[in-house]
Structure 1
Amino acid sequence: MGKGFYISKTLGIVLTVVGVAAAATIIALSVVYSQEKSKNVPKPTDGAGTTAQVSTTPSPHASTTPTPSNEPWDKYRLPDTLEPEYYNVTLWPRLQMDEHGMYIFTGESGVAFRCVKETDLILIHSNKLNFTMQEGHHAQLTGMDGTTAPTINSTWLQEKTQYLVIQLNGKLQTGKSYWLYMEFRGELSDDLGGFYRSEYYENGEKKVVATTQMQPTDARKAFPCFDEPAMKAIFHLTLIHPRGTVALANGMEIGKLAILPETVNINVDGHEVSRTRFEPTEKMSTYLLAFVVSEFTFIRTPPSDEVLIRIWARKEAIAAGQGEYALSKTLPILKFFEKYYNSPYPLKKSDQIALPDFSAGAMENWGLITYRETALLYDRNMSSNGDKEWVATVISHELAHMWFGNLVTMRWWNDLWLNEGFATYVSYLGVNDVEPDWTIKDLMVLNEVHKVFAVDALASSHPLSSPEDEIMRPEQINELFDSITYSKGAAVLRMLSEFLSEPVFVKGLSAYLKQFAYSNTVYTDLWKHLQDAVDTTPGLQIPSSVTEIMNRWILQMGFPVVTINTASGQISQKHFLLDPDSPVDRPSQYNYVWFVPIKWMKNGMDQGQHWLLEETAQNDPMKTNDWVLANLNVSGYYRVNYDEGNWQRLLTQLSTDHTMIPVINRAQIIDDAFNLARAKIVSTTLALSTTKYLSEEKDYMPWESAIDNLGYFFLMFDRTEVYGAMQNYLKGKVSPLFEHFKDITSNWTNIPTSHTEQYNQENAISLACSTGLKECTDLTTRWYREWMQNPDSNPINSNLKSTVYCNAIAAGGVEEWDFGWMMFKNSTIAAEADKLMYGLSCTKVPWLLNRYLDYTLDPTKIRKQDATFAIVYIAGNVVGQPLAWDFIRANWDYIFSDYGGGSLSFGRLITGVTKRFSTEFELKQLQQFKEENAQVGFGSATMAVEQAIETTKANIKWVNENKEEVMKWLISETA
C-alpha cells in the first residue's frame, strides 16, 4: 500500500433494512446470474436455491455470546479446517440512488473450498452484507466431484467477528471439495472501504464511481470470503454495470487483448446494462482484489509492448495530459523490478487508476492499482517538483509490491512490515533508475530514517514484528499501518542490504521469491535465503547469522545510540529514548542490545566497518585526536554520540570547511545532536551550535534537517517570549540562503536546475518569511495579489505555491482567504487543491479557522479522504491549534463514527493536533479526553493517544529544563 499515507480504512454505516422493492431488484438480477452460473458456477446437486426475502432478523446466536468465549465464531482468526480454491463472483453496483436514498450493490458469489480437517462448521467472513435466503438459510452447500455435502442446520451472522456462521448436520470430509453459494446485497457507501462509491463533477453533472479498497480486512464488505492473507485463491469476476461505463478488475477482460474492455449489453427486467467478465486471477489474497466501474478514460502503451499499461482517470484529467508522466515511468519501473527481482511480471496488464476519493496514497491490487489523484496525476504546468517525485515514488512503491507482497505474501498481518518496509526501501531504487538526476536514494535518510526515529524513540513504540496472537482484531491490524512498519522497515532493510552488499541481498531475495511464488511466508524465510546467499559468496563475512543479527532489529522496538569516546577508543550502545525517564514496559529477549554495523571515517578518510556486538567494546583505531564521524552516509539505523572533544572538532570542521563532511552526514550531525539534547545526553546549546555554520550552507539535506529539528523549538516556544529571539537568530542564518536563490534565479524569475535545489529554494522562502524577513513577506504577498487580480493566470512557480499560499494568506485577511477557498473549490487538479487546502490553514483569523474546521465535517466542501489532513494543517497553526483541539473534543463521537475509527490515517489526527502540547494543563486535558471517550473508543488511533500522552510529558520536562538556557544562548548569538 502506498506509503503515506498509510492506507486508511473506515468503518461503514450499518445497512438500512431492505424493503420489498429492493428484494424485487435482486429477483430481477437472478435472471442474469442464472446465465453466469450456467457458464462457470458448478450446478447444485440438490436443487437450486430460490431467491426469497433478504434476512434482516438477527439470529439468536448473533453477537449475544458473552465474552470471553471459546466458540470458534467468537475468535478473530479462521480455523485451519478449510482452504479456498477459487471463487466465482458477480457484482452489480448501482450508480444512481434508489427510492430509499441509498446507493446499493447486489451480488452472488460461490467459493470452491477443500476440507483440510474434518469439521461440521463453516466460517466465512462477511461484514455489512444482507443475504438472500437459500432454502431458509444464508447459503447453499453442495459437494463437488461426486461428493455429497451435509445439509445445513443453521446459519447466522456473527457481527463482532464479522462471520457468516454455517452449522452443518454432518461432517465435511478431509480432502474433499465443496461449493458454497450465496446471494447478497450491500450499501455502496462513501466510507472509502470495501466496495464503495466516489463522486466528482464533470461539466456540472455529478458522476459516481464504484470502486474498492480491500486492505486489510474489507474484502468481506464486498462479498463473503475467507478474508485472511494466507487464504489465497483464484478469482473469477464478472461485473454488471450501466451502459456507457467501463468495468475494470484485476484480470484482463475476457476476449482479445482489447484496447477497451469487452462488454456485452444485456437487459435485466427493463434495466439496460452491460456485463464484463474477466480472466481468472493468479492465486492471490483477498486484500489484493479490486474492481472499478466508471466513466473514466485512459491512455496506454503501444500494442507492441508485452505488458499493457493503462492510466485511467477522469476524462478532463486525461485530456489535460495529467496521466502522461505516470505512463512514461510505469513500464520502465516495471522493467527495473523484473531485472532487480530476476523474475518476470506475471500478468498481461497493469492498470493504474486515479480516484477522486481514496483514503490511502495508493493500493497495490494485482493488475489494477488504485491511487489518490495526487499520487498518479501530474500536470506539467501546475504540479510541483515535489508532486512529480511523489507520483514516481508511489508508482515505484506499488509496482515493487507486484512481487514482494502480491506474488509472495506474508502469512499474517504481524509481518506487514516485510511487505511495506520492503516496498518502501526498493521504491527509491526504482525511482533512482528512471530519474537518476534526483539523487533520490540519499533523500531516503530524510524521508524515512529521520522521520521514524521520532516515533521509535518513544517507550510506547512497538517492534516491527509481533507475535501473531497480539494482532487479531481489524483495528489492531489497522494500527500497524504506521511509520514503524513503513519507514523503520525500509531503514533496517536498507541497513541489511548495506552490510551484505546489494548483489548478495538481491541474490537471496530472488531465490526467496522463486521458492515461495503464489504462497505465503514469515520473515524468517527471507533470512534463510539471505543466509544462503551469504554462505555462497566467497570472502563475505558477517559477525553472526543473518537471523541472529536481524532479529535484534525486528523483535525489539527502538534503536540504540552508539557513543564513541575518541579519548579512550571505547564504544558503547544504549536504548535511545527521547524521555530517558519513561518506563519501558515491553520486555526484550535481547535486553535492548543490538548488533550494530558501524561505518566510520577519520579526518575525512573512510575507515571501513566495525561491528559493535555488546553494550561496551574497545576499538583502538577510534582513539585519536582527529575528528571521527560514525554511521557514514547513515547506512545504519542508530544515532551517534561522541565525547565532548570530538563534538567540538566536528563543529570546528563545519565552521571551517563543511564540505569535508558528506552532505548526508551534515544532516545527520544536526539531527542526532538535537535529539540527543532532547534526551539529555548532550546539552541543548551543543545542538544549537550545529546550526551556526548554516549561513554558509547551500545544500538541501542539512537545511531540511535543521528546519525539521528547529520545528520542535517553534512548537515548544511559539507561545512564549523565546519565539522572538529564535526568529531573530534564524533570520540571520537564512538571509544568505534567501539571497543565494534570489541571485541564481535572476530575482526569482528562473527555476533552480537540480531537484534538491528546487526543494531548498522553497525552504529559503518559507523560513525567511516565518522569521519575519520583510522582503520575503512582500514577495509572497505580491505574487498572491497578482493572482487575485488575474485568477486565470497564476504567476506563482509551482514549486513555491505551498509556501506562498500559506504566507500570503497568513499575512492577509478575509479577502485572501475567500479567494483561496474559491480557487480550491474550482481546482480540477488534485495537487493544486492540496496546496490550497494547506494554505487556507495558515490564516491568523480565528473565525476563519473555525469556519474551515466546520467545513471538514461537510464532504461537499472537504472530501472525507482529506478531512483529517485539513484538521492537522489547522492544528499546525499556532492560532489554529487550540481551535482544532476544541473541535476534536467537541465532535469526537461524530468524527470517530463517520470518519473512521478503523481509518489507517486516524492516528495522525491525534498526533497532529497534540504535537504542540507542553503544559500540565494540556496533559490533563489529553488524559481527560482519553477517559471521557473510553466508551466511544479510538480505533486505530489507540496507540497514538498513548504516544501523545508520553510525548506531552516529555515536552513538559524539556521546556522546563531548557527554556531559560535556550533564551540566553539565542540572545548571546545575536548580540
Structure 2
Amino acid sequence: MAKGTGMTKVLAIGIGVLTVSSVCALVMMAVMYKIQIDKYPPVSPPPPIKPTVIPTGLPPTLRLPDNLIPERYEVFIQPYLYAAITNNYTNQSFAFTGQSTVKVQCMTASRSIFLHAQNLNVTTLEVRKSGSNEKLSVSGYKIHHDESHFLEIQLKDTMTVNGTYDIVTKFEGELFDGLDGFYVNRYTEKVKAEEEEDEDQERFLATSLLKPTNARKVFPCFDEPALKAVFRITIIHKPGTFALSNEKGGPHQTEIDGEEWIVTTFKETPIMSTYSLAFTISDFDFKTRSSGTNINIHARGDAINAGHVDHALEVTEKILVHYQKEFGSTYPLSKIDQIALPDLSVGAMENWGFISYQESGLLYDKHTASTFDRERVATLIAHELALQWFGNLVTMRWWNDLWLNEGLATYMSYIGVEADGWDIRDLIVLRETQTAFQVDSLNSSHPLSLQENYIQTFSQITELFDDITYSKGAAVLRMLATFMNEDAFMKGIKMYLAKFEYKNTVYKDLLKCLQEETKVDVEGFMSTWIEQVGYPVVTIITQTGETSQEHFLLKQTQGHGIAWQVDIRYNKAGDDTVKSYMLEKNGPVRQPHFLLQDKDVWLLANVNCTGFFRVNYDEENWNKLRIQLERNHHVIPIINRGQLIDDAFNIARAHRLNVTIALGLTKYLVNDTEYIPWESALKNLDHLILMFDRSEVYGPITKYIRNLITQLYDRFEEYTINGTIPEKHTDQYNQVNAISVACSNGLTKCIKMARSQFEDYKNGSNHIHPNLRKEIYCNAIATGDEYDWEFAWKEYQRATVPAEKDKLRYALSCTKEIWLLNRYLQYTLDPSKIRKMDMVSTISYIAKNVAGQPLAWDFVRGHWSYFTQENGAGAMTLGSLLDAVTKRFSTDVELEELKQLQREQEEKNQGLAARALEQVIERTEANIQWVKENKQIVKDWFTGEL
C-alpha cells in the first residue's frame, strides 16, 4: 500500500535542493532590497491637489479686505469750473470728470476687488496685469450705496498671489457745496470798474477736504489710513485758474475738444494716506518765502495786496525751523503751500505739503486784528505743521488711535508757538485739561484708544474728532512728559518719528519708543489713561492720611472700578519742595506724608495740575486752603489757584462736596489779578448762571459777581477808556474778562463806557482797541436797540477782514430782541448772508444768549434733517452744535425733548452725532438732579454775601 504514494530518494533530494535555493534567493533579494532602500529611500506619492478657494461675497465688516495692497495712483481730474463769470455766455458747470489708475499687489488669490467710491458715476472700468496690460475679464461691478461705500468688482479671471494689477476707472462727479470731498467755494472780490467805484464780483474756486473718508468722493480709491501709496496727480483746468496739490506742479496749455485747457501735472508724492491728499483750482494770488523749504501762502488777491499773509509767512518759517530741530527730522517735502479759503468747515486741514485754513485762521491785518487773533494764527499754524510729522509722516493705523495724530499735535503746538515768542504753556490747563475734564466726566465719554472693530462707520469715525481726542490727548501727554521728564520724552518722540517714518502705528509703538529713554514703566503708567474711559478723583483725608481714588462722574454711578496709575505731586504749607507719591490702588491706603498733625499746615496735591485727575480733600483742608488764599494767595501756584476752584465746583456738581466750599474759594479773587484763576472761576460761575438765569436765583448771583469784578474792572479801566491794552498777554485776556463780566452783570460805568465807544464808532470814529471790540460791540448791542443791530449788520456786510467780521458776527448775537435773534437765525441758512462754515458758530453764539437759547434749540430741531442728512453743519461740527444749544438744559421738559430727538434719530437709523446726543442727555440729567438739590443752598449763599 505504501509503495503506491511514496517518492523516490532522488526526487526528495531534488526538491530539498530547490527549496534551499529558493530560500537563499529570497534572502539575497531581501538583502539587496534593503541595500537599495537605504541608498535610494522611497518618495511618497504627491497628495491630491486641492482646488484654490477663491473668496466670494461681501467683506464681513465695513473695512476693506486685505487681499489687495495699493502701491501707486495715477489720477487725472478735470473740473469744468470758471473762476469768474466774465459774460453772459460763459457756461458755468459744477461738475468734474476723471480717470484713476491704481497699481495694486495681490496678497491672496482672488476674483473679487473691493475699494471705495461715493457719489461718483463710474463710466468705465478695466483691470489689467501691470506691465503687460493684459486685460482680466470683468464679469461686473457696482457701487454699494450703504455705509460701506464699496466699489465691488467681480472678475472671471483669477488674480494670482504676488501679482501686480492696474485698476483703471473713468468717472464723473459733481462739485457740491457741502464743504467736504471736492467742493465749490463762492466768494466776492473787489474789481476795478471804469469810472466807477470798485464793485464786488462773484468768484468761484474748487477745493478739497478729504479727511476722514472723503477721498472716495473724488476718485475710486482704497480710502483707509493704513493703505498708503504714492500719488501722481494731474489737474486739467480752465485758463485763468491755477492748480495746487501736495507737491510741486508744472502747468502747460493744451487744446481738448476744441477748447483751451491748462494741464498741471504734479510731482509724485511720498507714500501717504488718501485723506492727506489735496487739490485746489482758483485764481488766487500768493506770496513766497524760502529758508531751505519753499513756503507759499495763497489767498484772495486783495488780501495778498493788503499784506494780510505776511505775518503767517514769517510765523510758518519760524515754527517749521523750530520743529525740525525739536523733532530731529527734516521736513520731507520740497515745499509747503498754505491757503486761506473763504469756506472750510474745520479751522484748518493738514494736507501734506498743502495746508488749508479758514481765512480768519491764516490772514492777519495788523491794523484791525487783536493780539488774540495773532496768537490764534500762530497756534493754528503750529498745530497743522506738527501734523506734517504726527499724522502725515507717521500715521495712526486706524481711526481708533486718532489721538496719536491730534493729541500729539495739540501738545506740540504749545511748544511750536514759542518760536514766535508765545509763552502760553500754562494755558494748556485751561484750554485742554479743564476742557477734557468736562466731557470725560460723563459715562458716555470714550477712551483715548478704542478697539479697532468699534470704529467702522463714518459717524463713528467723525465722533472721534472731539475734546477727548484733542484735549485729553494733549493733557495726558503733558502728564507723561512730567512723569518721564521732558528731555527724555522728546528723545523718545525723535525715536518714534525716525523708526516709523512713512509707516502706520498703534499707540503702543509710541510708548515703546518713549520707554527706551527712561527707567520708569511707561506702558504700565499710561495704559489705564489710554485704554479706559474717564479719570479719577483722588480723595485725601488729612486727619488720617487715608488716600483713595474713584472714577469721577457727574452723574453718580458705580463707575468701572479700575485703578489708574496716579502720580500725585504735592507740597505742604511752609515747604516749597514738590514730592511725588504713586497711587496704584483704589484704596483707601494710608499715606503718612498726607497726614497733617499741625492745625496750621495745609496740603496741596497735583501741583501745577500736571496730572489728569481731580483732588478732593476733607473739609478742614479745603478751609485751610481757602484761608491761605485770602491771606496771601501768592503762596499757592497760579495754576493751582485756578485748579482748586475748578476742582471744587465740579466735585460739588458730582455731589461729593458742599457747593458753599466752592463758592467760598471765589471770594479771595478781589485781591488776585491773574488770568488763570479768574478764568477758572468765571467758567464755573457761568455754569451757575446757565442753571439759574431763568429763575429768582439769578438776581443775587449777578450782584455778587458785579461786586467781585469791580476791582478787576477798575484795574484796567484807564486802559479801556484810552483804547490801550496792558503789556502782559494774560493781563490782556483779563482786561477782556473784566469788560465782559462787568457789563453783562450790570456794572453801570462799564455799560456807559461800552455805549459811548459804540456811539463814537457809529459816528465814524472807531478807536476801540481790536482786543476789546468783540465785547464792547456785544454789550453795546445787548443794551441798545434795533438801529444799533442794523448798524452792526451793515458793518459786518461791509467788512473785508475776516477777524473783524467774526467780531461783528458774534456781537450781533447779543441783542435781547427776540425778533432780531429769529431773523439772525434765518440768516444762517443763507450762505450769501452767513457763510456756511460760520453757520454752527453763529447758532452757538445765539444759544449763549439767554434770550436766544430757546430760539436756537427750536431752530436746530426744526432743521435737524438739514444738519444731518444734507450735512449742512459739517459732520464733524454737529457735536459742538448740540453741546452749545443745550448747555442751559436743566428741566424735565428739556430732557424729554432731547430724548424725543434721540428716538427720532434711532427710528430713521441716523448715527450722526449719536454720542454727542447721548452726552448732552446725560449732562441734562445731572443738571436736573443738581439744581433740585442745590437751588436753595446757592440762593441762600449768594443772598448772605450781599
What is the TM-score normalised by the length of structure 2?
0.90
- Alpha carbons 1:73, 1:163 under 8 Å: kept: no
Once the two structures are aligned, what percentage of the paired residues are identical? 47
Is the 8 Å Cα contact of residues 67 and 107 (structure 2) preserved in structure 1? yes
1:311 paired residue among 297, 305, 314: 297
Residues 408 and 516 of structure 1 are in contact (CA less than 8 Å); yes or no, is this contact kept in structure 2?
Answer: yes
For residues 610 and 329 of structure 1, the distance between their equivalents in structure 2, rounded to whole angstroms, comes to 41
State the one-letter code of the partner of 1:761: Q
Query: What is the identity, as a one-letter code, of the residue corresponding to 1:760?
Result: N
What letter corresponds to residue 287 of structure 1 in structure 2? Y
Structure scoring higher RCO (CA < 8 A, sep ≥ 6) equals 1
Within the candidate set 579, 584, 600, 2:555 is matched to 579
1:277, distance to aligned residue in structure 2 (A): 1.1
Per-residue Cα deviation, 1:352-401 (whole angstroms, up to 9, x for no partner):
11100000111111100011111111111111121111111110011111
Question: 1:336–1:430: 8 Å Cα contact kept in structure 2?
Answer: yes
Question: Residues 318-364 of structure 1: CA distance to partner in whole angstroms, max 9, x if unpaired?
Answer: 11111111111111111111111111111111111110000011111
1:806-852 Cα shifts (integer Å, max 9, x gaps) = 11111112111111111111221111111111111111000111111
Q: Does residue 1:462 correspond to 2:450, yes or no?
A: no
Which range moved further: 607-616 or 629-638?
607-616
- TM-superposed deviation, 1:899: 3.3
Partner of 1:781: 755
1:535-550 → structure 2 map (5 Å cutoff) = 535=519, 542=520, 545-550=521-526
Q: Deviations over 1:547-582 (max 9, x none)?
A: 12111001111000111222112221111011214x
5+ residue gaps, structure 2, are 1-54, 191-199
CA contact (8 A) 1:102 1:187 kept: no
Q: CA deviation at 1:747?
A: 4.0
Q: Which residue of structure 1 aligns with residue 350 of structure 2?
A: 364
The answer on 1:622 being equivalent to 2:594 is: yes
Query: Which stretch of the first structure deviates more once superposed, 720-729 or 825-834?
Result: 825-834
- Counterpart check, 1:501 vs 2:485: yes
Q: Distance in 2 between matches of 1:121 and 1:149?
A: 15
* Match 2:902 to one of 915, 925, 930: 930
- Which of residues 854, 857, 863 in structure 2 aligns to 1:891? 863
CA contact (8 A) 2:246 2:278 kept: yes
Partners of 2:722 and 2:688 lie apart in 1 by: 30
Matched residue SS, 2:205: strand
CA contact under 8 A between 2:602 and 2:621: conserved in structure 1? yes
Q: Does 1:379 align with 2:365?
A: yes
Q: Which residue of the partner structure matches residue 768 of structure 1?
A: 742
Alignment of 1:831-846 (within 5 A): 831-846=803-818
953-962 vs 142-151, which moves further: 142-151
CA 1:93/1:251 → structure 2, altered by over 3 Å: closer, same or farther?
Answer: same
Structure 1 contact 508–530 (Cα < 8 Å) conserved? yes
Q: Provide the secondary structure at the position in 1 that maps to 2:103.
A: strand
Per-residue deviation, residues 872-922 of structure 1 (Å, max 9, x unmatched): 111111111111111122222233223348610111111111110111111
Range with greater deviation from structure 2 (525-534 or 476-485): 525-534
Distance in 1 between residues matched to 2:126 and 2:434, nearest whole Å: 54
What are the equivalent positions in structure 2 for 1:191-340 lying under 5 Å apart? 191-203=178-190, 204-253=200-249, 262-302=250-290, 305-340=291-326
1:665 aligns with 640
- State how far apart, in whole Å, the 2-side matches of 1:393 and 1:872 are: 23
What residue identity is the alignment partner of 1:759? Answer: Y
Q: Deviations along 1:3-42, whole A, 9 cap, x unmatched?
A: xxxxxxxxxxxxxxxxxxxxxxxxxxxxxxxxxxxxxxxx
User: Which of 519, 528, 531 does residue 552 from structure 1 map onto?
Assistant: 528
Instruction: Find out whether 1:677 has 2:652 as its counterpart.
Output: yes
Match of 1:451 in 2: 435
Shift of 1:936: 4.0
Aligned pairs for 1:352-501 (under 5 A) are: 352-435=338-421, 438-501=422-485
1:172 matches 2:159? yes
- Does the CA contact (< 8 Å) of 2:80 and 2:92 recur in 1? no
| Secondary structure of the structure 2 residue equivalent to 1:243 | coil
Tell me the SS of whatever aligns to 2:232. Answer: strand
Conserved? CA contact 1:156–1:165, under 8 Å? yes
Deviation by residue 1:36-95 (Cα, 9 ceiling, x = unmatched): xxxxxxxxxxxxxxxxxxxxxxxxxxxxxxxxx994257310000001111111111122
CA 1:877/1:298 → structure 2, altered by over 3 Å: closer, same or farther? same
Compare 611-620 and 166-175 and name the one that shifted more. 611-620
1:796, 1:802 → 2: CA distance? 10
Residue identity in the other structure for 1:664:
I
SS in 2 for 1:215: coil
- 2:29 is matched with none
Partner of 2:20: none
Q: Deviations over 1:161-218 (max 9, x none)?
A: 1121110002111111111111111111111111111111012111111111000000
Alignment-derived partner of residue 77 in structure 1: 63
Native 8 Å contact 1:893 1:936 kept in 2: no
Partner of 2:96: 105
Pick the structure with greater CA Rg: 2
Contact 1:478 1:902 in 2 (8 A): no
CA RMSD of aligned residues (A): 1.7
Q: Which residue in 2 is equivalent to 1:511?
A: 495
| Displacement after TM superposition at 1:750 (Å) | 2.1
**What are the superposed Cα offsets for residues 686-713 of structure 1, whole Å, 9 maximum, x if unpaired?**
0001100111111111111111111100
1:197 aligned partner, one-letter code: V
Tell me the distance in 1 between the aligned counterparts of 2:286 and 2:491: 37
Contact 2:178/2:874 (8 A) holds in 1: no
1:794 is displaced (CA, Å) by: 2.4
User: What is the CA–CA distance in structure 1 between the aligned matches of 2:92 and 2:313, rounded to whole Å?
Assistant: 39
TM-score, normalised to structure 1, is 0.88
Please report how far the alpha carbon of residue 512 of structure 1 lies from its aligned counterpart in structure 2 after TM superposition. Answer: 1.6
Say whether 1:595 aligns with 2:591. no
8 Å contact 2:793–2:812 — kept in the other structure?
A: yes
Alignment check: 8 A CA contact 1:123 1:163 kept:
yes
Map 1:9-24 to 2 at 5 A. Answer: none
Counterpart of 1:43? none
Change (3 A) 1:746 1:615: closer
Give the match's secondary structure for 1:343: coil
Structure 1 residues 70 and 150, CA, compared in 2 at 3 Å: closer, same or farther? closer
- My pick for the range that moved more, 930-939 or 122-131, is 930-939
Q: In structure 1, how many angstroms separate the alpha carbons of the residues matched to 2:913 and 2:792?
A: 31
Equivalent AA in structure 1 for residue 583 of structure 2: L
Secondary structure at 2:906 match in 1 = coil
| Contact 2:56/2:111 (<8 A) preserved | no
- Alignment length (residue pairs): 872
- Amino acid of the residue matched to residue 271 of structure 1? E
* 1:396-453 residue CA offsets vs partner (Å, 9 max, x unmatched): 0111111111111011000001111010001101012322xx4310011100100110
SS at match of 2:789: helix
Q: Residue 607 of structure 1: which of 578, 588, 591 is its match?
A: 578
Could you tell me whether the CA contact under 8 Å between 2:106 and 2:161 is conserved in 1?
yes
1:727-876 → structure 2 map (5 Å cutoff): 727-743=702-718, 745=719, 747-790=721-764, 793-876=765-848
Distance 1:923 1:144 in 2: 60
SS in 1 for 2:416: helix
Partner of 1:120: 111
Contact 1:872–1:909 (CA<8 Å) still a contact in 2? yes
SS in 2 for 1:804: helix
**Deviations for 1:587-607, whole angstroms, at most 9, x for unmatched residues?**
x5xx33100011111115123
CA contact (8 A) 1:214 1:287 kept: yes
| Counterparts of 1:101 and 1:274, CA distance in 2 | 17
